Structures are given as C-alpha cells and as structure tokens.
Amino acid sequence: MDPPKVMTIDELAAYLQVAKSTLYKLAQEGKVPGQKVGKHWRFHKEVIDQWLGENRDKEREND
C-alpha cells in the first residue's frame, strides 16, 4: 500500500525508516518540511520526496 499524500509522524517515521523521536526533533528544528495542525505534525509526501532529492543532491556536491 502506498503512503498517503499527507502523513502523520508515525507514517513518516515508517516511510523514512527513522525513529519517531528523531523525526520530532528534526521537525521542531525545521530541518524536515512539515507543519503542525493543532498539536499534531503533518507532512506532505510530495514535499518530503522533493526534500529528500534536494538533500541527496547536496550530499553529492560535497563528495
């Protein structure tokens, strides 16, 4: 099953294969693109995929 277009912190943690605690920290620091809706974080899959691609490109430039 494909991930939803808008993911919760649990869904994004599974998608990225990282711990929820790490993801909370990154989100709060603004290092991963997301937004808070009330007390809950939400992440757009399309934006996350773009962010992953940009970070991959930056790492290649630094190699």
Q: What are the structural domain ranges in the chain? A: 6-62
What class has domain 6-62?
Answer: mainly alpha
The answer to whether the CB of 10 falls within 8 A of the CB of 20 is: yes
Tokens linked to 26: 């990154």
Tens digit of each residue's pLDDT (9 = 90 or more) over 22-51: 999 999 999 999 999 999 999 999 999 999
pLDDT for position 62? 66
Q: What's the full length of the chain, in residues?
A: 63
pTM of the model: 0.83
Asked whether residue 59 carries a pLDDT value surpassing 90, the answer given is: no
Beta strands (DSSP E) in 1-63 are 6-7, 35-37, 40-44
Tens digit of each residue's pLDDT (9 = 90 or more) over 13-28: 999 999 999 999 999 9
